[in-house]
A = this chain, B = another copy of it.
């Protein structure tokens, strides 16, 4: 290019809602070129009164990460395919970047049939492997997945049983569970729609229907307060002496997207 200094190439940016810019870098650049373009861009954004800079670098551009750090950027978050870096232009005010995702979300499934039996599994791997403990199917809620749908999916994957979400019974929040992240774990009651178990061979050693009282009387459950508390809640629900939260389909405030609102199952919205 035959540009003078004032015509220096600038990174393509879109404005965010908070006076900042978002840059989704796609073009491969060698580090010296990247530094020159980045400096010219920041200078331009400073003149424009911009504040925060979001710099999304696909993993293919890992060769310029070090240059961005040396220019004053730091890490905000990363996914498998990209690294999000940030830079704060104002020199006299502290940055207002929102925090990164802070929680992992898991589900446990309380699947109870009309005989009062619940669906339990033994896992091949993880902390329960080789313990002989019968546990409820559990799993991780994926990004973009509804809690009520995740419980149904996990039961299908682990045991082949089709189910329908009934109620969210209880949940717990714990901390420092995974590289410092916090953790939310939701126990969902599901009604089985099929009964013949076809277990997944990779993760699941055994799967069966088991009397609820037999499940709750396992020493492992009895001796650990949270497992015991959850088992008692499930038993109370079985006896219709407990009510949890239903999932009501609702519309999000700004975007008009559909979302689930979880609220007391004894409440009837007017």
Residues of A that sit less than 8 Å from B by CB: 17-18, 59, 62-63, 65-66, 69-70, 74-84, 98-105, 125-127, 140-147, 169-176, 178-182, 184, 224-227, 229-230, 232-233, 236, 241-245, 248, 250-254, 257, 259-264, 266-267, 269-270
Q: How far does the Cβ of A74 sit from chain B's closest Cβ, in whole Å? A: 5
A143 vs B178: C-alpha distance in the bound complex, in angstroms? 11
Query: Is A225 a contact partner of B250 (Cβ separation < 8 A)?
Result: yes
User: Are A173 and B144 CB-contacts (below 8 A) given A59-B69, A233-B263?
Assistant: no
Query: Is B184 a contact partner of A101 (Cβ separation < 8 A)?
Result: no
Q: How far does the Cβ of A45 sit from chain B's closest Cβ, in whole Å? A: 19
Q: Which residues of B contact A143 (CB under 8 A)?
A: 99, 102-103, 175, 180-182
Cross-interface CB contact of A83 among B63, B75, B251, cutoff 8 Å: B75
What are 5 contact pairs spanning A and B, CB under 8 A?
A: A75-B81, A143-B182, A174-B259, A225-B251, A244-B264
